Amino acid sequence: MRIYNIIAAVAVSMLAAGLVYAGDWDKEYHPSGTVKFGIPFGDEANYDNVTVNRVVDGDTLQLASGERVRLIGIDTPELHESGKLERDSQRSGQDKKAIQQLGELAYEFTRKLVEGKQVRLEFDAEKKDKYGRLLAYVYLPDGTFVNAEIVKQGYASLMTIPPNVKYSDSLLKLYKEARENKRGLWSAQ
Q: Which helix (H) or strand (E) holds 86?
A: helix 83-92
Name the DSSP letter for residue 57: E
DSSP-derived letter for residue 112 is: H
**133 an active-site residue?**
yes
Q: How many CB atoms lie within 10 A of CB 13?
A: 10
Which of the following is catalytic: 78, 108, 122, 180? 78
Which amino acid type is present at position 41?
A: F
Q: Is 120 marked active-site?
A: no
Q: Could you say which of 68, 81, 133, 179 is catalytic?
A: 133
Active site residue 78: yes
CA-wise closest residue to 127 among 119, 137, 139? 137
- Whole-angstrom distance, CA of residue 147 vs CA of residue 5: 50
The identity of residue 72, as a single letter, is I
Return d(Cα 143, Cα 97) in angstroms, integer.
Answer: 35
Please tell me which residue in 44, 54, 68, 70 is annotated as part of the active site. 70
Query: Taking Cα atoms as reference points, which of 77, 88, 80 lies closest to residue 110?
Result: 77
Q: Using N-to-C axis directions, what is the helix angle for 96-114 and 83-92, rounded to 10°?
A: 120
Point out the residues that are catalytic.
70, 78, 133
